[in-house]
Structure 1
């Protein structure tokens, strides 16, 4: 606790403890926002940062007046979590004015999750990064430590306790951060806008229409879905962007697909299929250049969800067997065992085996094999993946066993399947 140590030495001690425990960069800034201690002593800065001291000073200064507005200057303020435009996360804690001359401790940068090559490419495109610098950017992102949100929050809470000797609840941290991040209310008045809509009878669609639409997706009923969708009036849609009609349409489409995704999951569609289907349709809509194309894309997306739900519901499985199938689908690239599935289902091995066989006609091991061959067929159609790599990734013992199982379910070998597929291109 900082009070029980000399202010200057205590702050340095806490920084060292945090760094040795977390292996994340930790900085101690003095009252003038200059770096007094950096751990590690040297590390690679972001390619876009020319002066690390200026970056940390800017972040610290931007939070100082806000964070201390409701706190006594003799006490440490609540930690602040800041995310940069480049997706880096920093935790900042302004120290009590009597400790370390009122400086600050900064932890970071970290990422919430590993960035895929596609994500990094998109980010660099957004920031118009020249081609010659892109490898340097990628190297930097790969070097960053990943702390998911909950670990980041608990790191902030730990730092607060080390400095003050007091506890800080998660809700206190998040409420304080939320207040700072969203202190500016949205433009316009809710009451005024509602009054305007009522006066001009420019009302949103009735909730029951929306409920009926997604009910038909949940049931996989495309015909009824199309009938209900045709009753929606263009005048009854909300306004999600005032600056661009095309952007407004895309935002409405994204909202609609999000709700359709949940309806499809409620209808029994594997959630990973549902989420991936959502990703594909939203990515497609983002690329469109005119409003009619977006309108068509929304309708196609809704129908696509209904079709997939209909296909999945034809099996008429119990919740237990459907749960096992969903687990198998999501964990095909991992070792799968009857014991693990019994644990997931909350049943003993023997009863689960009998139930699964009765409802699907497959033993559990055969179903896992079948799903892996379905996945193998998808991978074979992708360029640059060898057959031996596919066999290894899907946990087949060797190439010959993979070939044997593949032929059992497809009637052809993997090589023949790839050759036949390539001949159709």
Structure 2
């Protein structure tokens, strides 16, 4: 049976469009059925590939499921091997849930792409809704059909928003349907409860698994903008996570400081990818801090000193100031802190400042030359030296691989 006929059977069986792209980037055939292409792509092949993060010349070993910024899911399966790369099958799109009018309007407004609104609505109404679990099963089956290899679900690369695994439903919080939004679907309250329990208990391993669970529709908190809606939902989620962290034993000042930092960063972000990464960082940061509290049985004095250091991380902190705040002598502070925390006071101050520097590099456009000054390092050379001491690379090298803000 030839390739095109096999693809036609798959398209009809799963009610999905299918494309076959050669390793040179040529679309050798497309089977759309009675559907139109997404009007937001403007029939631009390269734009379509870039949205998928797809490079036809790069051979990917494992099949993948990709979520685009337009809510679509696509299955990508390479046919052949390194020696005989025939090309890639792109199966889709499908949707993880039905899009309501407000979400489609927000999507059009946020992308600033000129398209006929009626055509866009018609397009989304024609795209099949396929659950996450079924999509993975389809991927396994189609891969077996073409590559004669039966893989496991965990072998499928789930490249949602190109690597950002935290989904809207995991950062929602309590969102109740309000007047005029009766048609809006909301997240599963049980998942919210599970997530906040994980944060409260400081279970980092459970959080890693939880952020890869199912993908469902969520409420809309802004009619005119999808990005604004995601920011609002993220703010609610981070605030509730901070409360859960406090319930788990984290000092309230630290919990609120962490949530404030991430919420402020959210306001400067412009894409799904940036927002998802910021929320993910916030949840892991709070959960990790709860875990540290539960694992360390520090005395009240040491806990007081740690909180003081964190709250004054942008200032030049002296050993004497901390001792005075705790009401003990500097010598006793040195002995007690090293005994309970495992590192000297000055070393711990450096750790807190470098952690803050990492976050500033990742989530802000603050020049590297200013970050050291903001954190009260004596000069840029000393800041670079301490940063490299703790992370094994310079601030510039770290920025090249971890900076999340799109210019």
Bin the TM-score by the shorter chain: 0.3 to 0.5
Q: Which has the larger radius of gyration?
A: 1
TM-score by length of 2: 0.40
**Larger RCO of the pair (alpha carbons < 8 Å, separation 6+):** 2
TM-score (normalizing by structure 1): 0.38
* Higher helix residue share: 1
